[in-house]
Amino acid sequence: MTLSVRPMELEDIPQASGIEREAFPPPWPATNFRRELKSSSLTHHLVVYEGLYESKRLDGEPEGADCNVRSSKSKLETLRSSLRRLFRPEADRIAPRQRILGFAAVWFMADEAHLANIAVREAYRQRGVGELLVISVIKLAIERNARFITLEVRFSNKTAQALYKKYGFVEAGTRRAYYTDNREDALLMTADGITSAPFEENFLRLSQAYARKWGIRI
């Protein structure tokens, strides 16, 4: 299975809504994706889909020309350019009827990025889709000069917490009875200093390990 990531488009909404209903069934309110996609440049929605990147390199070099580390580049710079190739939405033109496997929504407010929603199609969980979404959200937040990322997660949702902790999120507080369906508490988690060198280096290392694990060529 080859995974790719790109911004959500209007035609993805039926699939994204289906994934959301599967992950967060009623009485959890359904997201009005159409309104969110049309209304605000402060909200970004990403989708992971099954498919291939276009083979053309964005910078005009032939594919595979710099898969190896060049000695003149710093390690960090090499990792950065690897990441740029991994996430290249401009290179993707949307093929009709792409199968959407998961989505994430992130809001930007001043120097904060808030991961508002993330879900993966149930049949495709534990195959790296959620991790690719988290990597993409962090990358987007860094690009937009956010200083930190916040999110809320159910106390009982240890799966999602493990994913966030892997990427440097730490527990930052509790919101009592945050979830109206069962009055469960929310754990507030944050990733701070996301543009600091230590965070970026760790992030790039994890991203490369991810790419190796799931066979994504970078």
| 195 contacts ligand COA (rule: CB under 6 A) | no
In sequence order, the β-bridge partners of residue 191 are 149
- Taking the least distance from each CB to ligand COA, the nearer of 120 and 149 is 120
SS3 124: helix
The verdict on 23 binding ligand COA (CB under 6 A) reads yes
Q: Which is nearer to ligand COA, 79 or 153 (CB)?
A: 153
Question: H or E element: which one contains 100?
Answer: strand 100-109
Q: For residue 18, how many other CB atoms are within 10 A of its CB?
A: 12
Going by their DSSP bridges, the two strands 100-109 and 170-179 should be labelled as: unpaired
Among 135, 160, 211, 216, interactor with ligand COA by CB under 6 A:
160
Q: Which of 49, 164, 167, 210 is catalytic?
A: 164
Cβ contacts of 5 within 8 Å, gap of 6 or more? 46, 47, 48, 49, 87, 89, 132, 133, 136
162 lines the binding site for ligand COA (CB under 6 A): yes
Asked about 112 being catalytic, the answer comes back as no
Cα(165)–Cα(203) distance, rounded to whole angstroms? 12
159 lies in the binding site for ligand COA (CB under 6 A): yes
The answer to whether the beta carbons of residues 31 and 45 sit under 8 Å apart is no
- The contact mask relative to ligand COA for 95-134 (x = CB under 6 A, - = no) is -----------------------xxx----xxxxxxx---
CB of 75 to ligand COA, least distance (A): 22
What part of residues 31-50 is at the interface with ligand COA (CB under 6 A)? none
Active site residue 184: no
Pick between residue 78 and residue 133 the one whose CB is nearest to ligand COA.
Answer: 133
Which of the residues are catalytic?
152, 164
**Footprint of ligand COA (CB under 6 A):** 23, 118-120, 125-131, 153, 157, 159-160, 162-163, 166
